[in-house]
């Protein structure tokens, strides 16, 4: 094992990579520019939309209620919703989002209430639509308050205290520190991004250094030099690994910078927006470091796998058609970890990519389960070693190197 030879190959590949516009764009320029544009643009858009949704006064229709003037009057006094005259096509108007909700008061509602006869008040809305739900909440709260008052009056009439209906109260209180709450929401995305970028960052160099070398006819040249094939693969592998880690590191860095800018921008421009941007957490150096240490064996795994597959191809284009579908293989487990309720278990911690994605979610939230961390780190190291071993074996195979 000669580190000198591996170093010679690595230095040469680095020189070539730094002179290659395509490599520079894919590993440096894209991660540096994409995230500020994407996160600031998307973040600002999200903040603006949420703000606007809250600012708009939703229009609400009251259907019926002619003989229940007190309830109608109460609804009309509600803030932040606007009562519009009833129209026969109210259903279509809700679907077309001209009206956000309609409340149907049954005939003789107030009279029925006085007679202690139970009626149903219906609220028609557009489910999962932000402004419609907002209007519904307002109406529902008003109606529930109204109902509570009726109950209180009835109890008072019978000389019973209000506590009869409330033997005890149930309350929620969040004890998790705020960064853990936001971490749970955003940790998945950080892990997903680091994983995906480790993969895409190494992709272009992996193709360039294997299939590209075959395509340009330099494979035979290098194989005729005395360097052993293992040193050659290792030199190339370290370059792919460098590119993979550089892309991931640069992306996280640029994302961190853009998030903190966004955060500051929101703080300056009003409390409501600041609130919306507050969950765009700021990552501490400890978190970033631990995510990267854990991503290291995964990057090794990706780099070696990418090279093994790309080496099989004769041309750059062929390699591309093998590796592009591989992106989906990586995206699916990475996304699966972001689904709510998916958490680390001993079994899941052995599934590559998924385990790392789940772990990142925990790390960002500041949770350190050392037993899981050990299992995941070791299992990923094993997968990485197998992948690297395969890459070295693949480089020894004449049928792969001289495939025609």
Using CB atoms within 10 Å of the CB of residue 42, give its burial: 0 to 12 exposed, 13 to 18 middle, 19+ buried.
Answer: exposed
Nearer CB in complex with other proteins: 19/347: 19
What six digits make up the tokens of 145? 């308050």
Shortest separation between residue 215's beta carbon and other proteins, angstroms:
10
Nearer CB in complex with other proteins: 59/214: 214
Handedness of CA 2, 5, 11, 13 (dihedral sign): negative
Nearer CB in complex with other proteins: 5/182: 5
Starting from the edge strand earliest in sequence, which strands make up the sheet with 82-84, in order? 82-84, 59-64, 101-105, 122-125
Quote the DSSP letter at residue 20.
-
Query: Interface with other proteins by CB under 8 A: which residues?
Result: 5, 8-9, 12, 15-16, 19-20, 216-218, 220-221, 223-228, 398-399, 402
Shortest separation between residue 14's beta carbon and other proteins, angstroms:
11
Strand 122-125 and strand 59-64: the pairing is: unpaired
Nearer CB in complex with other proteins: 229/369: 229
Nearer CB in complex with other proteins: 138/214: 214
Shortest separation between residue 5's beta carbon and other proteins, angstroms:
7
Helix (H) or strand (E) holding 96: none
Shortest separation between residue 221's beta carbon and other proteins, angstroms:
4
97 dihedral zone (left: phi>0; alpha: psi -120 to 50; beta): left
What would the 3-class secondary structure string for 285-331 be? HHHHHHHHHHHHHHHHHHHHHHHHHHHHCCCHHHHHHHHHHHHHHHH
Nearer CB in complex with other proteins: 5/244: 5
Shortest separation between residue 223's beta carbon and other proteins, angstroms:
5
Nearer CB in complex with other proteins: 122/317: 317
Shortest separation between residue 333's beta carbon and other proteins, angstroms:
35
Shortest separation between residue 386's beta carbon and other proteins, angstroms:
25
Shortest separation between residue 400's beta carbon and other proteins, angstroms:
12
Residue 68: name the closest of 128, 33, 119, 129 by CA: 119
Nearer CB in complex with other proteins: 6/300: 6
Strand 101-105 and strand 122-125: the pairing is: antiparallel
Residue pair 104/124 in contact (Cβ under 8 Å)? The answer is: yes
Nearer CB in complex with other proteins: 101/310: 310
Shortest separation between residue 18's beta carbon and other proteins, angstroms:
9
Residue pair 105/121 in contact (Cβ under 8 Å)? The answer is: yes
Cβ neighbours of residue 113 under 8 Å, at least 6 residues apart? 119, 150
C-alpha–C-alpha distance, residues 239 and 228, integer Å: 17
């Amino acid at each position: 094992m000669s580190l000198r030879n591996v170093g010679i190959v690595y230095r040469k590949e680095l020189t070539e990579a730094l002179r290659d516009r395509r490599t520079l764009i894919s590993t440096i320029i894209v991660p540096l520019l994409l995230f500020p544009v994407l996160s600031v643009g998307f973040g600002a858009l999200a903040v603006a939309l949420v703000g606007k949704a809250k600012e708009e006064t939703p229009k609400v229709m009251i259907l019926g209620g002619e003989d229940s003037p007190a309830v109608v009057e109460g609804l009309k006094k509600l803030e932040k919703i606007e009562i519009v005259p009833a129209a026969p096509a109210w259903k279509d108007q809700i679907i077309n989002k001209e009206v956000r909700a309609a409340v149907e008061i049954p005939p003789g509602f107030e009279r029925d209430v006085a007679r202690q006869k139970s009626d149903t008040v219906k609220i028609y809305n557009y489910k999962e639509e932000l402004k419609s739900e907002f209007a519904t909440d307002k109406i529902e709260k008003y109606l529930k308050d109204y109902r509570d008052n009726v109950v209180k009056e009835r109890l008072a009439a019978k000389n019973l205290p209000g506590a009869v209906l409330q033997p005890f109260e149930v309350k929620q209180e969040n004890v998790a520190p705020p960064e853990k709450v936001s971490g749970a929401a955003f940790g998945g995305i950080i892990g997903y991004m680091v994983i995906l970028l480790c993969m895409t960052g190494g992709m272009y160099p992996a193709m360039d250094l294997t299939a590209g070398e075959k395509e340009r006819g330099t494979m035979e040249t290098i194989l005729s030099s005395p360097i052993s094939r293992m040193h050659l693969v290792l030199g190339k592998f370290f370059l792919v690994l460098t590119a993979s880690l550089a892309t991931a590191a640069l992306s996280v860095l640029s994302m961190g910078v853009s998030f903190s800018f966004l955060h500051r921008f929101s703080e300056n421009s009003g409390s409501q927006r600041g609130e919306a941007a507050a969950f765009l957490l700021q990552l501490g150096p400890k978190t970033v470091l631990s995510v990267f240490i854990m991503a290291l064996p995964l990057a090794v795994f990706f780099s070696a796998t990418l090279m093994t597959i790309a080496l099989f191809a004769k041309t750059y284009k062929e390699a591309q058609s093998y590796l592009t579908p591989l992106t989906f293989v990586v995206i699916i487990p990475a996304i699966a970890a972001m689904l709510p309720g998916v958490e680390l278990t001993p079994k899941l911690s052995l599934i590559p990519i998924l385990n790392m994605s789940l772990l990142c979610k925990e790390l960002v939230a500041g949770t350190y389960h050392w037993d899981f961390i050990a299992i995941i780190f070791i299992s990923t190291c094993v997968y990485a070693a197998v992948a690297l071993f395969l890459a070295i074996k693949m480089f020894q195979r004449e049928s792969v190197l001289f495939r025609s």
